[in-house]
Chain A
Amino acid sequence: MKRFAQLLELLALTPSRTRKLTALTQYFREVPDPDRGYALAVLTGALTFRNVKPALLKETVLREVDETLFAMSYDYVGDLGETIALIWPHHGDKGGLPRQEDLPGKGDLPGLTELIGLFNTTSKSELPKLIAGLLTQAEINERWALVKLATGALRIGVSARLAKTALAEMSGVPVQEIEEVWHGLKAPYLDLFAWLDGKAGRPDIDQSARFHPLMLSNPIDEEKDLGKLDPKDFSAEWKWDGIRVQLVLGGGTVSLFSRTGDDIAAAFPDVVENVHGRAVLDGELLVGKDFAPGTFNDLQQRLNKKVASAKHLRESPAFIRVYDMLFDGREDVRALGWTARRARLEAWFAANPQTRLDLSEVLPFTDWDDLGRQRRQGADEHGHEGVMIKLRTSPYVPGRPKGFWFKWKRDPNVVDAVLMYAQRGHGKRSSFYSDYTFGVWKGNEIVPIGKAYFGFTDEELKLLDKWIRANTLASFGPVREVKKELVFEVAFDSAQESTRHKSGVALRFPRISRIRWDKPASEAATLDDMAVFVGAT
């Protein structure tokens, strides 16, 4: 555990990507199985515990620490795991440890593998005692790592991609090949490491019946990109406002994955029980009757439920608008160009009639101006998010390759709103007031219409933080109510009616585009001004 704690600390505090990579590579090279495999699982977020959860840790700590003082501390530190690690009041007292006879070594924490074993096998009622014992036994940095391990929220600036890049550096196997097999593997990745060490072949996985990493798009820069791209080389489609999914039709088995590879089939039985054929398809999950997409809000209702209710199935049936194909039957077609894949997809649809899948239509256009016009019209009349532009010759490449797929989003709506409340941020922005609630005028009062995180430079964040501290009217725990004087220009994709907000309006994807230090609050928008946006979708 010491070694793993040192690695985590170094990763958290070293700003240099190169140094992080070196540390990871060294760790994977030197630490034996299965510890290194479990470390990899922790770093890539692949490890979860059934019973060890942030709430359990908090509960364990609150048996020892006053709740109010804990809340004040959490507010100050801004990271639950770090608060727990720092506030734990018992140190180095080796007495009263549960299962102490099982713990290897004297005084030292168990190794990573043993710890994970303990987390998985200890009964729910015994866990608080185990965790309390471990927290007491740990050195401060180990305690920090231990809590990170137990809560699963690392926040150390290491992506799964970086960890896999380190594996690639260690072994010389290209990172794409590692990505290819990744989703078929499980911690502690003995077969993966055996392959990377050259001691065994590539892990054997049924390629056509599992999740494959998605191909993602880049936002288009109208000024820089469009002039350089020949419209004849590209195909266009609407950008759908649902969630990206991968449907794996394995012939008898059906899996539905979110873009990150989580299986969400249980929430959408209306789709998975009514699809036919064998393929791996890429598309947008939407809700609505007769293939007419409803609002994102309708979809959200269903996403929030682990299991769909009868009412939802009746009123908001789900379907998938398919736009690409990764496997045709058992055949991997990802190396083909988009045009060839599209032809395969259309042929597949003809051979496998569907009631819950349809094809995303291809938009004919003559040049970029023409497509731009359609994009605006689609946004204004149908609330489309924008258009997708895809290079006709592009293969299907996982990740976000440059130059293949572009998203050309609708221009955002903007509104001038007044800052009402500020809350301290978490993680990288902890202890700064970086989370804002803002509102518009309703008669003589300001009513909230949304909430957004900080989207400024560090310099602006500091100024804003200072303004908030100097203009606080009241504090409610971590939240400060401020004088209704500062105007934000808020950009958002669309507005919806909402019963949850006092204003009756909720914004979708709000972000603060500018601080209007110059603008008096009296000139901010009114609720009436918002009506036009609500009607637009």
Chain B
Amino acid sequence: MPPDNQTTHNNGKRVLCIEDEHFISELYARALGRRGYDVDIELDGQRGLEKAQTNHYDIILIDLMVPTIDGIEILRTLRDSAKTPHLKAKIIIITNLEQREDVRADIEKQADGYLVKAEITPYELADILDKLKINNS
């Protein structure tokens, strides 16, 4: 199993995880927490968007199917500099579904990554995030 010796590397990196599936967010929060990330979980789309706009995060994970606002709408709003100026976070879409063509095109243009939840374990997610180049850090 992955050792926790990377904790120090990620000290202070803040992750927002907008994901309504409780089990998944629990597993992600735990694994990323062990790797030294500071993880915020948000189960609701609207509140997740507000958090992303008002706080500083290094990485934002967005599930496409969340209540109140779609993940794709959150992505579009965060990437709209009029609505969300100065956003520095890397945005990664997490989902299990195949996307419609227009949605997929937007994701490819605006997101920094796209991961199929069913294909990765929490520590594999942590491995991937570890290798992300974080802006301004």
- Are A and B co-members of a single complex? no
